[in-house]
């Protein structure tokens, strides 16, 4: 698939809801947002989208064209402006190390579609001119191994902020933004539900790093001596929060659980193999329990409160389609 052509000016949006209000955001309905990408050819096929799309996520090529293509255009503009600022710094300082990667954070609940969003943006951004090297890292790799979570009594809080090796994750992002030639990230298996021993992904100074995870927008935790500390979000250049009504996300989670019962859970290596033989009522009850005791509280108490820290919020309707886009004003 060829690169996205050099863009032409897009026609003005017909409707910017609340654009003159005191809100720090500009609100777009889907129709007005789609107009911002009308001048750009879609560099993605249906077959490629099928490989990108997560189980249960119903995104189609129309949504890619109307939602994600304009977003990739906006991100491309941010990357270009960052390049101009970098060159200005070099002129001002007389010398400057090579430019460091532009980091995009993708946050949101389990089952809301953030993984699909991250993979779509990685693919689309790699097809714009001038920054073809785009890497994607998920923060799942920075979860403590299951044995460590068991030892700390955190297995039932997997996905909560305290279940991550935050120092390792922060060190990873700092080294990426520091311009280190090679930075390694641990690998997580959704099949075994654990860190894969002795495996890692290597990031080698990409033009753009997409960092996807539940808690990438978390502020720095409070320290006992009240000293200022750093958070991963301090190193993110642009952030996207994928949002939906919690009741809808709960429904999507349960539906995905039931579908996995017929597919991945049947693998003998699956951590969830014990759920494969449950009948539908029993599997539904178990999925509801997992949501109500773990994923729902994590969304309510830890993930949703970070929504206001995002640069852009994608809001989904009950059918999983994006209906509203909220962009922080410059």
Convert the pLDDT of each residue in 149-207 to its tens digit.
Answer: 999 999 999 999 999 999 999 999 999 999 999 999 999 999 999 999 999 999 999 99
Query: Which of 3.40.50.80, 3.30.540.10, 3.40.50.300, 3.40.250.10 would CATH assign to domain 100-328?
Result: 3.40.50.300
pLDDT at 87: 86
pLDDT bracket for residue 20 (50, 70, 90) = low
Mean local confidence (pLDDT), 92-97: 80
pLDDT bracket for residue 330 (50, 70, 90) = confident
| pLDDT higher than threshold 80 for residue 4 | no
pLDDT at 194: 97
Convert the pLDDT of each residue in 28-87 to its tens digit.
Answer: 999 999 999 888 888 989 999 998 988 778 899 999 999 999 999 999 999 999 888 888
The packing angle between helices 69-93 and 114-125, to 10°, is 60
The full set of domain ranges for the chain reads 100-328
Convert the pLDDT of each residue in 105-145 to its tens digit.
Answer: 999 999 999 999 999 999 999 998 877 799 999 999 999 99
Contact 172, 142 (CB under 8 A): yes
Give residue 219's Cα distance to chain centre: 16
pLDDT at 14: 44
pLDDT bracket for residue 3 (50, 70, 90) = low
CA distance 190 to 143: 12
| pLDDT higher than threshold 70 for residue 93 | yes
Strands 102-108 and 208-212: parallel
pLDDT at 161: 96
pLDDT at 18: 46
Contact 197, 258 (CB under 8 A): no
If one compares 129 and 326, the residue with the highest pLDDT of the two is: 326
Residues contacting 110, CB < 8 A, separation 6+ = 159, 214, 249, 253, 295, 298, 299
Convert the pLDDT of each residue in 209-223 to its tens digit.
Answer: 999 999 999 998 777
Which phi-psi region, left, alpha or beta, contains residue 320 (left: φ > 0; alpha: ψ -120 to 50)?
left
């Amino acid at each position: 698939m060829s690169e996205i052509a050099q863009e032409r000016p897009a026609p003005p949006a017909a409707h910017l809801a609340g654009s003159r209000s005191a809100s720090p955001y500009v609100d777009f309905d889907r129709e007005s947002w789609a107009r911002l990408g009308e001048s750009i050819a879609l560099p993605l096929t249906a077959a490629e989208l099928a490989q990108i799309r997560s189980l249960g996520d119903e995104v189609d090529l129309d949504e890619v064209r109307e939602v994600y293509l304009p977003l990739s255009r906006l991100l491309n503009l941010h990357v270009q402006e960052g390049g101009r600022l970098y060159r200005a710094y070099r002129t001002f300082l007389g010398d400057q190390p090579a430019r460091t990667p532009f980091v995009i954070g993708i946050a949101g609940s389990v089952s809301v579609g953030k993984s699909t969003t991250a993979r779509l943006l990685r693919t689309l951004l790699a097809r714009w001119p001038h920054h073809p090297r785009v890497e994607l890292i998920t923060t799942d790799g920075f979860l403590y191994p299951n044995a460590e979570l068991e030892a700390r009594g955190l297995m039932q809080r997997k996905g909560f902020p305290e279940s991550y090796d935050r120092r390792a994750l922060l060190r990873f992002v700092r080294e990426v933004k520091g311009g280190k030639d090679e930075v390694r990230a641990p690998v997580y298996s959704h099949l075994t539900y654990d860190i894969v021993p002795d495996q890692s992904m290597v990031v080698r100074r990409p033009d753009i790093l997409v960092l996807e995870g539940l808690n990438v927008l978390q502020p720095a935790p409070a320290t006992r001596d009240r000293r200022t500390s750093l958070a991963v979000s301090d190193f993110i250049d642009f952030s996207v929060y994928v949002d939906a009504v919690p009741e809808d996300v709960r429904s999507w989670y349960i539906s995905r659980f039931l579908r996995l019962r017929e597919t991945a859970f049947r693998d003998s290596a699956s951590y969830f193999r014990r759920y494969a033989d449950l009948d539908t009522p029993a599997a539904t009850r178990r999925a509801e329990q997992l949501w109500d005791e773990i994923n729902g509280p994590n969304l309510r108490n830890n993930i949703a409160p970070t929504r206001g820290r995002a640069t852009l919020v994608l809001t989904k309707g009950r059918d999983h389609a994006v209906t509203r886009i909220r962009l922080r004003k410059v």
